[in-house]
Chains A and B, each alone.
Chain A
Amino acid sequence: MRLIFEKSIPDRRGVKLPMDDVPKAKSLRGKYLRKESALLPEVSELDVVRHFTNLSKMNFSVDTNFYPLGSCTMKYNPKFCEKAAAVDNFSNLHPLWPQLLKDDYLAQGALEVLYETEKQLCAITGMAAFTMQPMAGAHGELTGAMLMAAYHKTKGGRRKYIIIPDSSHGTNPASAALAGYEVIVISTDSDGCMDLGEFKKHLNKDVAGVMLTCPNTLGIFNPRIKEISDAAHEVGALMYYDGANLNAILGKCRPGDIGFDIVHLNLHKTFGTPHGGGGPGAGPVGVTEDLVKFLPISVVAKDDRGKFYLEYNKPKSIGYIAPFYGNFGVILKTYAYILLLGKEGLTEASDAAVLAANYIRVSLKNDYDLPYDKICMHECVFSASKQKEQSGIMALDIAKYLIDNGVHPPTVYFPLIIKEALMIEPTESESKETIDSFIELMKKIAKLAKENPQELKNAPGNMPVKRLDETKAARELNLIWNP
């Protein structure tokens, strides 16, 4: 499709500005002014609407396609939450409103939303308090790693390492490094869990914390999780819970009850806020009582009269990690989502997500290698190694064939410890019919891989483009349009 710039016609206009109802001011001096105007496209409103509407149709999305992208929890996002977040007097609310008056905090309604959502998340995770400020999961991880640093500083000094299993998300080690830590990587044992022996060998008083995803990225809940947290606490290390996979255990298990000290949640995964093509998300961080004093500034609190206020006087706090209170618009959708589903609804969601993943696991295990053949949680990870060996069909080819058939591929080539990984997360919102037709399609692919691999190699053929040359993209960088 042509770029919007290629549709530009000189002097065409797309929007009418408010009236210039004041006398014309003397212009700024030339040295402060730009010499050439920004070459934005000159298009009409219809040009813009048609362009972007047509672009939108070139995407797969949850509302249009099955989207079993592992670890991303692409569940259905209730329309009501969008409506709730668009309510007047939230979307137009200036973030400095609460600071306008010295002894009275305006924006009471918005502060109450933050306060109440924090309480909801505490009940769900068993933590003592949350900061709602982190703007994404990785941002939460960085906040968490900084909380560890602040904690150890008060406990007698800086520690050097963070322990992370090799099945982790790439953001874990990257966040730890950004907070100034070195990373110790622990391998995965034959049960799909962090190798306990190796873990204990590396655990000492130089370890600041252990970052775990639970259930992990193989979809496995570690039954010995308490042993890990007890061992970590023994040497004074903190346990960090990467909440990317919380959708599996709502109502069953709470990180706070099994020894985790710091937790981040991905509101866009577990709590049904849309992924927005890559964001915005939100990654609130919860902590145990001992760590509350280190949470970022500001903190929403409630006084005796039931009025909400912002606490800035927090001498032990790690400081400011967001301009204000986090991605409020996303938090408001989460607040609505939790109210809507309630206790039963959330538990039911986890039940169904885990049921669907296991149904797929069992249904496809004769067709694809299943490196860890045991009950999984919300996702299962297959490998296309068999297909690769047999006929050179790789996870990527399978992904492209799925695309041709209207299914968004699973996460491929992750976790890194599984060759030709296909990580499938169906979520609770997909019907049995959808899942059945996916299973059928995957079986057909396994068959094609044996009988007619070229058909898979040729995919996709039904999309706006065929396979794209990614090497060329990186070599001959073309990041902006130049006529």
Chain B
Amino acid sequence: MSYVPHTKRQEQEMLKVIGLKSKEELFRDIKPELRAKSFDLPEGLSEFEVLGRIKNLAAKNQAELINFIGAGFYDHFIPAAVDALVSRPEFYTAYTPYQPECSQGWLQAIYEYQTVICRLTGMEAANASMYDGGTALFEAVMMAIRVTGKNKIIIDSGLNMIYRTMMYTYTSNLNIEFVETKVVHGRSCREEIFKYLDDKTAAVIIQNPNFFGAVDDYSDIVEKAHSLGALVIMSVYPVSLGILKTPGEMDADIVTGEGQSLGIPLSFGGPYLGFLATRKKLVRKLPGRIVGATTDEDNKRGFVLTLQAREQHIRREKATSNICSNESLCALRALVHLCLLGKKGLINLAKLNYNKAEYAKALLDKVKGVEVKRSSPTFNEFTVHLSKNADEVVSIMYKKGFACGFPLGRFYRDMDNYLLISITEKRTKGEIEKLVKALEEVLCD
């Protein structure tokens, strides 16, 4: 069925006003030779029938495994109020707030979102959000190139492989030089970064914690980059910023990240939330929608989309980006989630993640055949070396009901025996102990 409300009689009334006899005449510009050769779809179904089909498909997903996989996308707890508020149709059936007077709710929410992103990252300005962490990072690179007028980008290979491959795809038709620097024992290789950093460098990209889970203080790299006129782009995991040193404190210039961990369901890869924040002095080079506060005729505070002269609908091919939309509803999830957590809640959440991961590390360390990589501190994710092939271990653990971690051999040629394990606040002490016991059995076998 369709959601068309017109009765046959009303259709005739409307056609009469138009001066036509049939609806078909409305389509006379679509000449016979331009007509659809087929339109091979089934008849419409009822809600009940479609729901049955979708539930059947859902049952085939094996989603009930106990999850220890993160790799940039994390299984965090989402309070009910987040779902309830983003389910308000006044939010989800509105569109981009082009007309500010009838969109103050959305505009204020985005202004508040920009504020929490800055407070989280220690930055001074943020945009209204991007599609995901990877596209936000690509936009950050383009921004760094615009700011510096240079085209060399140094990528620390602790950056999520997914984001690196996305970056190479997006830039394949542009004149940008990339250098990848290695990670040694989980830690960024300063020597290599400093070797490649020169006055042609637009930016260095660093991820904290990096893909292997390692936490670091990158102030030294930022200082060196700045001394040569390069910017530093940091990709961060927002939950970790409850306790970890912020990109702002390290003096980074542009911060991006995946906001999924802030109240957004894993949802098989999307929709997610890319955030992008920067220094005040670079704000006019930001891509994407931006909301600013202003006043109305009565001097009352209100909010509008601002700096629109940067954008595609005005600048067309000279715009700072081609992006038109943002991920408002996901940004709203992140905002509501952070408001519910509050100042202390976020710290406690980060500590809880850290504590549980440290507990898991301590137990795993005692398992014969497991070596926890300890050369760098970690937040809630860490790398272990196994005495057996990680793929095989993962398959056996699957039969025991666990998604026990991400086998790093999938992304790295020489890491077939390594597993990346993530522990969020959702994993109980009991589940961690069960994981350890099951791994012990598999490895002793």
Contacts and interface: CB of A to CB of B under 8 A. Distances in A.
Interface in B60-96: 60-64, 67, 69, 71-73, 75, 77, 79, 81, 84-85, 87-96
A92 B266 contact: yes
B99 to A, nearest CB: 6
Given A76-B3, A362-B19, A479-B111, 11 more contacts: A13-B344, A25-B354, A97-B403, A99-B406, A100-B398, A109-B61, A135-B131, A173-B316, A320-B162, A343-B40, A477-B307
A31 interface: yes
A336 B121 CA distance: 39
Nearest to A407: B102
A353 to B, nearest CB: 9
Nearest to A336: B50
Chain A binding surface, main DSSP class: loop
Interface stretch (B144-152, B185-193, B224-232, B317-325): B317-325
Nearest to B243: A33
Interface residues of B, number: 208
Nearest to A30: B245
B88 A177 contact: no
A44 B77 CA distance: 18
B195 interface: no
A373 to B, nearest CB: 12
**Which of B27, B298, B398, B428 is packed against the most chain A CB atoms within 10 Å?**
B27
Contacts of A84: 50-51, 54
A45 B80 CA distance: 10
A346 B403 CA distance: 41
Name the 3 nearest CB pairs between A and B, nearest first: A342-B44, A324-B269, A319-B169
Given A18-B426, A100-B394, A339-B53, A135 B135 contact: yes
B94 to A, nearest CB: 4
Interface string B208-250: 0000000111000000000000000000000001111110010
Contact of B67 (A94, A177, A323): A94
B166 interface: yes
Nearest to A343: B41
A478 B355 contact: no
Interface in A351-386: 351-352, 354-356, 358-359, 361-363, 375
A203 to B, nearest CB: 19
A480 B114 contact: yes
A64 B103 CA distance: 13
Contacts of A82: 87
Interface stretch (B7-15, B198-206, B367-375, B435-443): B7-15
Contacts, number: 697
Interface in A201-243: 220-223, 225-226
Given A278-B97, A344-B43, A465-B302, A221 B29 contact: yes
Nearest to A182: B317
Contacts of A324: 268-270
B294 A469 contact: yes
A322 B339 contact: no
A362 to B, nearest CB: 5
Nearest to A215: B29
B394 A95 contact: no
B326 A279 contact: yes
Nearest to B267: A329
Interface stretch (A269-277, A285-293, A448-456): A269-277
A28 B243 contact: yes
A277 B89 contact: no
Contact of A275 (B59, B94, B133): B94
Nearest to B330: A280
17 contacts: A12-B342, A58-B103, A59-B103, A87-B55, A94-B75, A108-B61, A180-B174, A253-B30, A276-B92, A278-B128, A324-B269, A336-B50, A340-B46, A342-B1, A352-B4, A354-B26, A473-B294
A321 B311 contact: no
B6 interface: yes
Interface string B282-311: 010000011111111110101110111101
A136 B131 contact: yes
